[in-house]
Amino acid sequence: MPIKEQFARVWLITMLVTYFAYFTSVVLVGETTPLNQIGMFAATVVVQVIIIGSASAVMAIRHKEGPKTDERDQLIDQRATRVAYHLLICAMIVVGCLMPFNNSGWKIFHAAVFSIALAEIVRHGLIVSMYRRGWDA
């Protein structure tokens, strides 16, 4: 398994687990104080950094020569990034242009975070999928 695919798998699983827990707690807890909202988001980011940082360190130790990027790796990354970018732009248009008329504050923040997380999950999911199933040029 290429190191880029391993890293994409770690990102994908980490994003799914941390943001599922975050949005589940947001829905279950509901509206709380701004300090609690910031604390929940900060905890999510810290857990994500710890998991991805430790996984990166383990992968760096296992693959001492470093990742070798070839044309296939670049094309897979470009295609996945392009799809995730379009998804993110569409979601941010909704969040930035439509939501302020009906919502405010934390709802807009959570929608923006959800959009970013979804775009990254799609990106890394596509990278894993393209390494496993191949891709069409």
Domain count across the chain: 1
What's the rounded Cα separation, in Å, for the pair 87 and 124? 13
Instruction: Look at residue 137 in the predicted model and tell me its pLDDT.
Output: 47
The Cα 83–Cα 105 span in angstroms is 28
Tally the residues of the chain.
Answer: 137
Q: The domain containing residue 7 runs over which residues?
A: 3-133
Q: In whole angstroms, how far apart are CA 41 and each of 30, 34, 45?
A: 14, 11, 6
Closest among 25, 27, 53 to 40, alpha carbons compared: 25
Helical spans, DSSP H, in the chain: 3-29, 34-62, 71-93, 99-102, 106-133
Q: Is 67 left (phi over 0), alpha (psi -120 to 50) or beta?
A: beta
**Residues in the chain, pLDDT under 50:** 137
* Per-residue model confidence (pLDDT) at position 62: 84
Name the residue among 15, 73, 70 with its Cα closest to residue 45.
15
Report the chain's terminal Cα–Cα distance, integer Å: 21
pLDDT of residue 83: 95
d(CA 67, CA 81): 19
